Amino acid sequence: MPTVMQWVKHLLAKIENQEKYALPWERRYNNEHILPFLAKEYAEVYPGIVIASADGRVVDSVIAGSLHSMLDVPKSGTAGIVVDALTDRLVLNGLGAPDDAQADKLLRQAWEDNDLDVMHHEGHRESLIASRSFASAAPEEGGDRAVVGIESATQAAVHRRQSPPYDVDAYLKIWTDEWTGKRVGLLRLPGIDQDIVEDDTEHLDPEGSGESSRWIVNGDPRPTRLPGVPVVELAPRARLLKEPISEIDPIATLIDIVDLVEGLLVFAGHFGAVPIRYATGLDIPRDPKDPSKPLLGADGKPMVGFKPRADHFWSNSNPQARFGQLEPAGLASFVTWAEHAAAKVRAKTALASTYFSLDLKSHMSAELLKTDEAPMVRRVRRMGEYGSLNQSWRRLGQWILAIESPSTRTRVRPLWEDPETRIETQEVDMFQKLTAAGMGVGTVASKVLGWDQETIDKALAEADAMRQKLRQEKQEDELDPITRLSREFLGDTASVS
């Protein structure tokens, strides 16, 4: 069995590798990655505005504020579009226990108490960017509730068992204490949580492993009364024998192509798309002191009687003067190139065309929209409801029950939201047809309309009350007029003879 120091060194190396792997994808997601070629080109074309280092990185910019953003090296933000689109569709409505009402209530309460209705989005987003993130559960200090947190792969790492059920058997999180400036951490092993701290000097392993490290234990281990480590790994692109990968990794080259096209498009628009105007046979004013020389303006250039700018009117007194303009270069080829590159990204990620403004028509029908989104919906379900994320959230629910109700043994089911775009008219039509065919209203409302159980129960209660009211009104209508008047005006519930 590894010692505490051995676990720390092993998991610390994993954190460093994870952080190194995630860095380029984080830069692309934040739209901070700049192609060295474009950085050098912009530094040459706009000297003094964009300054590039020898390796092509933008190291400074003279202009600040809104004008700076206009002259900055173009970055398309494609990585952010892809990650955010998938995050928007990977939505959980909570954790449930279909066979145990009490356990179901505990799971729903824990979901809201830990703000997982919000934080599960961040867990999915971080895992799509960095290839993985973590959800860690722990008993509440001085209480019996489960406290759940979402952790980043740049701060935490896990080790998993090499045999079924492949649960996590060691977890380490490292961070910097903002008050002392020291790096501290938490090592979680089966049954215990151990605080650790980084010292200034190396220490030999007190458990006799022969290892040495600056990381040492800080205080006594805290018992968790749990048989394992209550941590799950969220990895949408998990592999059986290989490490999971970032969603951005397979499309990084395509994103660079999109950024390149955007940058070249700016150059083309600057130098080629604006028409070049020219004039011949102009009368040039002569210098009265030396008629052999043209009269110079304040800028040191010959005066021509007008400002030779595209936004000024050009005229000359010489009837032989001729004006014209060269045919501007079109940008259509660049637009086609950009759409081709975006289509390649779409093919690789299975996103709907609407995220890239491709094939989007104002008259797109519901059926066409459904067809357009179908590949993305299938892929999102393979990640979520039918994929590794579902397994991770299910195990987290089991850990929550192990903390809050140790004797409970029941199924846990993550409640995934339908990733398809809702077409309400179709859903209402399907609801009416299924209920008319004899299916239960509650079941159809849950599966078709996506209502939660609380809303369904409230709607059924209101419908039942309305039916009772209508039934009572019908019975009253069948009474003779004298009895009905007696009930309405005298409050007499007995018949009047």
Mean pLDDT by 10 residues, the chain (497 residues): 95 97 96 86 67 52 44 84 96 94 95 96 98 96 92 97 92 96 96 96 94 95 94 94 95 92 80 74 84 82 76 80 78 82 90 75 71 93 96 97 94 93 76 83 80 82 83 68 62 50
- Report the C-alpha gap between 147 and 186 in whole angstroms: 15
- Per-residue pLDDT at 289: 86
- Taking a C-beta distance cutoff of 8 angstroms, is the pair 259, 75 a contact? yes
- Per-residue pLDDT at 423: 73
pTM above 0.75, yes or no: yes
- Per-residue pLDDT at 495: 47
- Per-residue pLDDT at 472: 77
Beta bridge partners of 146: 139
Task: Based on DSSP, count helices (H) and strands (E) in the chain, helices before strands.
Answer: 14, 17
Strand blocks (E) in 259-338: 277-280, 286-287, 290-294, 322-325
User: Could you tell me if residue 153 is left (phi over 0), alpha (psi between -120 and 50 degrees) or otherwise beta?
Assistant: alpha
Three-state SS at 199: strand
- Report the C-alpha gap between 371 and 377 in whole angstroms: 10
- Per-residue pLDDT at 489: 60
- Per-residue pLDDT at 37: 83
- Report the C-alpha gap between 179 and 232 in whole angstroms: 30
DSSP per-residue letters across 408-419: -----EEEEPP-
Angle, CA of 329, 335 and 339, to the nearest 5°: 165
